[in-house]
Structure 1
Amino acid sequence: MTTATATTGGLAWLREGARVLTLRAPRWQGLEARPLTLAVLAAALLLSAVAVQRMVTEGSPTLLWRSFLHGWTDFALMAWLCWIVARSARTTEPPAPTAATLLALAWSAGLLLAWVDGAAVLALSAALGPVDAWPESVYWASWLLSIAWLGFAQIALLWRFAAGGLARVAVLLVMPLALAISSWLAPTTFWWSEPAPDPDAWAGLPLTDEVVDAQPQLLARALAGLQPPAPGRVNVYALTYAPYASEDVFMRESAVVAKTMRERFGADGRLVELVVNPATVTTLPWATPLHLRKAIAHIATVMDRERDVLFLHLTSHGGADGKLAADTSPMQTGPMTPELLKRWLDEAGVRWRVVSVSACYSGSWIPPLADDGTLVMTAADADHTSYGCGKLSELTFFGRAMYEEELRKTWSFAEAHAAARKVIAVREQEAGKSDGYSNPQISEGAGVRRVLDRLEAELGKR
């Protein structure tokens, strides 16, 4: 290569790269791809990628310097593919370009397309605003068009010089792989922006002095206000437990269950709601394991343990390990388990129990709790999720069907649960639940059944 050629070599590579990009045969004779040529082209490609990514990154992002150490797989695959093509054509007439020349031509085309991409981003941003505001169809169309254009141009370049079936198969297989790695499987990210704060994100409970001071008083007042049992009949004492503060659906479900217990089962004055939610920090005692244990122990001292029934409704997210999730941030509160609940009920001497668990996988609560004096009903079996416990839900499917609908028609928990199962099955299918029917479960001991039969008969006469 002469001194004059070396001086104009950069422009020559770009000119021939433009021919590659427009699917024309490159005029490579006279061009020599030296190590410095490849180094300059590789650096230019990297810097162009950095510049284009900066254009589409909002705010004041940080440059991730370590990213320059990543993303070389597609470069290596491209170099290997150029070597295969050049080797396949080394005996042809006229002689084919060297592997280094082919690589320089391919990279020159990629560099020009990167500049076109940058210009397109600037134009679209001027017309449509920041990239985040572009219609999704425009964003994906521009991205896919650039990848497809470069891939087709580089395949056409190597196809011209591949002098054998194996070389052409390699071009068709390896080139898309290199593009997929760089653009989809392992794209290199050069810029990182701190995500904008989400105004709707869960910020935790407001633990102000007033809140912290109020909580012991709220629990003490709720327990002190419990009325003694009315003599000569089965009284229902009720306790709700909603320990997941960042989703209002559990607070609403607690309120619905409490209303049903008051209006249908005469629990007004014999009910305690334990709820963790920012909206109730100064009106209701928190749903924490300690408060639940204290409430159970105190209710047991007020009720007639030989005659009366303690109803407990627990609502939260549930895990396949049987634990009922708690979200009380910034407080640290452990999850509830059926084993803990049974121990506290046994310690308090509560004989007749109705336990309702509205959570995913809640069927796992039945074996530890089931006995002669207990009715346990759940929103799901041990292998399936329940439904309707997301941020956008008004009530869970189980809570709505059981407490807002079916227990308004009967005083029998078993009958209401059987009817709710059918309603839930239909609604889950209509909602497109994809992991199978939640399959709510129930277990009723013979002893508690006789007590609940008496309760149903007494309520029917009032």
Structure 2
Amino acid sequence: MSEFLPANASNDEPLNNQDDQPGQDAGGEGANASSMQRLLTEALRVSMCRAPRWDGLPASPGLVAGLMILYLLTHIALQRVMIIGPAQFYWQVFASGWFYFAALAWGCYRLRPVRLEAQETHLGKAGTSMAPDASHLFTLALAQDLVLNVALLSFSAVLVRAGWYDLSGFSLRMQWLVYLAPSILALCIQLLFLWRAGDRRKPGMLVVVVVMLIALGLDASTRSMNFWYPRQPAKSSEDATDKSPEITQEIFEQQTALLTKKLADIQPQRPGTIDLYSLTFAPYGEENVFLNETSMVSQVMAQRFDAQGRSLQLANNPGTMTSLPWATPLNLQRAIAHIATRMDVNEDILFMHLSSHGASDGELSAGMWPLTIKPVTPADLKQWLDDAGVKYRVISISACYAGNWVAPLSDANTLVMTASDADHTSYGCGSKSDLTFFGRAMYDEQLRKQTLSFEAAHAAARPIIKQREEVAGKSDGYSNPQIAVGEQIRARLKLLEQRLQAQKPAQAGDVAAIKTEP
């Protein structure tokens, strides 16, 4: 901490200008428990926007080290509390996240470069709440950061444990606002403290505010890794989603080759035969339910709708990075364009199933940290289908508020069906679910076993979903799955159904159980 001393001060000079008072421990390297208690008590006061009291406040390298250790221990403990169930510790995080502390140390020196005694005659009464020097300011600021961190993480942990921290129903912008709100509140409290404890020169304070905001923005935008990640039972070594996957250059190169191979494997159309091509899309990679569902749907299309060899899965999941192409907007656009070259766009049908969390504005959640993936919108999907020239379309959206997709995609040549209307959430998309309620009823039970009609399956699934949601205690009302069917696609699907029935497809008992593609 010697870098915080004024030029005219010796390194042997005590940091506390009150350290000769009885009962006060300025703290050298051996700061004791009473010093830490005094410091944390004052940190609690300034965290409640009270003016700091510097009289007898200790500051030393030992205290700074102790506060950093306390910060890390409490951060690790509270992050673990926020995960329900088994979790895996990720020790590599110790090497990240230090920019904010560096910015805080710089800001303290920027605001209090010299001891208070040198400015007492200039400051007068206003100097009573100002820090003696940068070392005292940084020590108390660090203690305040510890108090604020414990308070905000504890509050978040309570929300998580009570099941009130599900942001999947909000738009991406609202999710960011909720995510950043506690950090912004803490920063405002800390900046108020720094203003009171600094030299109160507006230009200098403005620079500190800008730097601290940049530090907060960098921390939020880079989405710092957590110490803990949920440990989920895995069906195989590839299914583990304990922590963020390691995405290397080799993975990127494999993904490029994998997409090329999967596209090349798609079989061409058969002249005079109405073929169904299947394309599934699971863009949210932090829960297995979406991969499970799209894998199941892909199997049903292959085994019941004669789409074997004409199916493609796009998925984001740590367990399939070497077996399935990523579910990104560009990959989806390329897949649609390529499939259009393999099918007869004026005769065949393209079936698409998109499964993810959904927001109130219809946006589907996308991502698999550390990948940043832009969500696909209804306008995007319609544009890509139009550009590819695909005429007959069956589009299935399994997500909350999926009804927002119906109107933008509907036309005479399109069937659009969704797991919910535009005002309600769907159900069964949590980390403990194998399939969503919609996916299970619509595809696993109806189309797999009962019917080859999408309309009939949807009509039969609706009351089943409603009854299961009521039993499960869904609090925001019936999801109300939607469907819109154009006259031209209805006729085309009827012809497909007749062909499939004439082929006498395998019985339901012959269909393989749900599994994730290896």
TM-score by length of 1: 0.60
Distance verdict in 2 for CA 1:233–1:276, change over 3 Å: same
1:214 to 226, 247, 254: 254
**Partner Cα separation in structure 2 for residue 64 and residue 325 of structure 1:** 43
Q: Which of the two has higher C-alpha Rg?
A: 1
> 1:379 corresponds to which residue?
419
1:288-322 C-alpha deviation (Å, 9 max, x unpaired) = 00000000000001101111000000000111111
1:379-416 C-alpha deviation (Å, 9 max, x unpaired) = 00000000000111111000111110000211100000
1:303-351 C-alpha deviation (Å, 9 max, x unpaired) = 0111100000000011111111102221221111111000000000000
> 1:69 corresponds to which residue?
46
- Structure 1 residues 316-327: aligned runs within 5 Å: 316-327=356-367
**Partner Cα separation in structure 2 for residue 246 and residue 318 of structure 1:** 14
> 2:355 corresponds to which residue?
315
> 1:225 corresponds to which residue?
265
Q: CA deviation at 1:203?
A: 3.5
Determine helix, strand or coil for the equivalent of 1:240. Answer: strand
> 1:431 corresponds to which residue?
472
Given that 1:67 and 1:189 are in contact with CA atoms closer than 8 Å, whether structure 2 keeps it comes out as no
> 2:72 corresponds to which residue?
none
Determine helix, strand or coil for the equivalent of 1:355. Answer: strand
Letter in 1 for 2:437: F
State yes or no: 1:460 paired with 2:501. yes
1:217-243 C-alpha deviation (Å, 9 max, x unpaired) = 111001100111122221000000000
Given that 1:312 and 1:354 are in contact with CA atoms closer than 8 Å, whether structure 2 keeps it comes out as yes
> 2:167 corresponds to which residue?
none
- Structure 1 residues 3-402: aligned runs within 5 Å: 63=40, 65-69=42-46, 190=147, 197-200=227-230, 203-402=243-442
**Partner Cα separation in structure 2 for residue 263 and residue 314 of structure 1:** 19
Given that 1:317 and 1:360 are in contact with CA atoms closer than 8 Å, whether structure 2 keeps it comes out as yes
Determine helix, strand or coil for the equivalent of 2:417. Answer: strand
**Partner Cα separation in structure 2 for residue 191 and residue 420 of structure 1:** 49
Letter in 2 for 1:228: P
**Partner Cα separation in structure 2 for residue 284 and residue 189 of structure 1:** 43
Given that 1:204 and 1:330 are in contact with CA atoms closer than 8 Å, whether structure 2 keeps it comes out as yes
**Partner Cα separation in structure 2 for residue 242 and residue 190 of structure 1:** 40
1:433-452 C-alpha deviation (Å, 9 max, x unpaired) = 00000000000000000100
- Which structure has greater helix proportion? 1
State yes or no: 1:418 paired with 2:448. no
Distance verdict in 2 for CA 1:198–1:456, change over 3 Å: same
Determine helix, strand or coil for the equivalent of 1:304. Answer: coil
Given that 2:426 and 2:479 are in contact with CA atoms closer than 8 Å, whether structure 1 keeps it comes out as yes
**Partner Cα separation in structure 1 for residue 49 and residue 317 of structure 2:** 50
TM-score by length of 2: 0.54
Distance verdict in 2 for CA 1:254–1:66, change over 3 Å: same
Determine helix, strand or coil for the equivalent of 1:286. Answer: coil
Given that 2:406 and 2:416 are in contact with CA atoms closer than 8 Å, whether structure 1 keeps it comes out as yes
Letter in 2 for 1:437: Y
Give the total of aligned pairs: 296
**Partner Cα separation in structure 1 for residue 457 and residue 296 of structure 2:** 15
Q: CA deviation at 1:70?
A: 5.2
**Partner Cα separation in structure 2 for residue 226 and residue 72 of structure 1:** 64
Identity %, equivalent residues: 50
Determine helix, strand or coil for the equivalent of 1:415. Answer: helix
Distance verdict in 2 for CA 1:190–1:261, change over 3 Å: closer
**Partner Cα separation in structure 2 for residue 198 and residue 328 of structure 1:** 16
1:28-77 C-alpha deviation (Å, 9 max, x unpaired) = xxxxxxxxxxxxxxxxxxxxxxx99x99xxxxxx947432235599xxxx
Given that 1:64 and 1:191 are in contact with CA atoms closer than 8 Å, whether structure 2 keeps it comes out as no
**Partner Cα separation in structure 2 for residue 65 and residue 280 of structure 1:** 51
**Partner Cα separation in structure 2 for residue 191 and residue 360 of structure 1:** 34
Letter in 2 for 1:294: R
Given that 1:64 and 1:192 are in contact with CA atoms closer than 8 Å, whether structure 2 keeps it comes out as no
Distance verdict in 2 for CA 1:66–1:381, change over 3 Å: same
Determine helix, strand or coil for the equivalent of 1:332. Answer: coil
**Partner Cα separation in structure 1 for residue 385 and residue 402 of structure 2:** 18
Structure 2 gap ranges (5+): 1-32, 51-79, 82-144, 155-225, 232-241, 504-518
Given that 1:64 and 1:189 are in contact with CA atoms closer than 8 Å, whether structure 2 keeps it comes out as no
Distance verdict in 2 for CA 1:64–1:240, change over 3 Å: farther
Structure 1 gap ranges (5+): 1-50, 56-61, 74-131, 134-187
Letter in 1 for 2:230: D
CA RMSD in angstroms, aligned pairs only: 2.9
> 2:491 corresponds to which residue?
450
Given that 1:64 and 1:190 are in contact with CA atoms closer than 8 Å, whether structure 2 keeps it comes out as no
